[in-house]
Amino acid sequence: MNRTIEVCVETFQEAEAAVKAGAMRIELCADLFCGGTTPSFEIADRIIKELKVPIMVMIRPRGGDFCYTQEEFELMCDELNRCHQYKIDGVVFGILNPDETIDIERTKKLVRLARPMQVTFHKAIDETPDLVKSVQQLKDLGVERILSSGGKPTALEGKDNLLKMTETAGPELQIIVAGKVTWENLDTISQIIPNKEYHGRRIVNF
């Protein structure tokens, strides 16, 4: 099956092991215990130079919710600009309003700042009250990918929502299936939720 396997890591050593085990793209984060925050750009730079694999960098100033203060938003903008300096392939972020709908205006600004880097809207979408509507909004903003478990703790539990989201996304927007996807269950999940891209911490055996 022609599918892209994206592995989430915190260190260069993890990235190196993941690539050797079959990772096709790396999502680099710090503090995965809280869902991931902005990582060291020095680690990102080393991955780019030594591993020659596409890398997506998390842009998230803190753990917790996805409703950010103006100061935190400005920090996200600064971190996006740093990504350009390091020639990062793409960025991963998510930003919501207090009612947990997508913050359209701030997302639009971040997408604009990110260009020409690729943009993934992360699992913040799973907090939104209407997943299909959120997909359409992000599609209209030109986001390339959405990372989601269909609003559920695992991809298998969220399979029905993921299939609906993929249908709404169409060919212009890729849904990355996430949520307890491992190297042991990947084949099963890909049969139940046919897709082009899958994401996980242990999606390859390293």
Evaluate whether residue 206 is within a structural domain: no
Evaluate whether residue 202 is within a structural domain: no
Give the tens place of pLDDT for each residue, 8-50: 999 999 999 999 999 999 999 999 988 899 999 999 999 999 9
Contacts for 134 with CB less than 8 Å, ≥ 6 apart = 101, 102, 125, 128
Q: What's the rounded Cα separation, in Å, for the pair 64 and 52?
A: 32
Domain that holds residue 188: 4-196
CATH of the domain at 80: 3.20.20.380
Q: How many domains does the chain have?
A: 1
Evaluate whether residue 36 is within a structural domain: yes
pTM across the whole model: 0.95
Predicted pLDDT of residue 2: 82
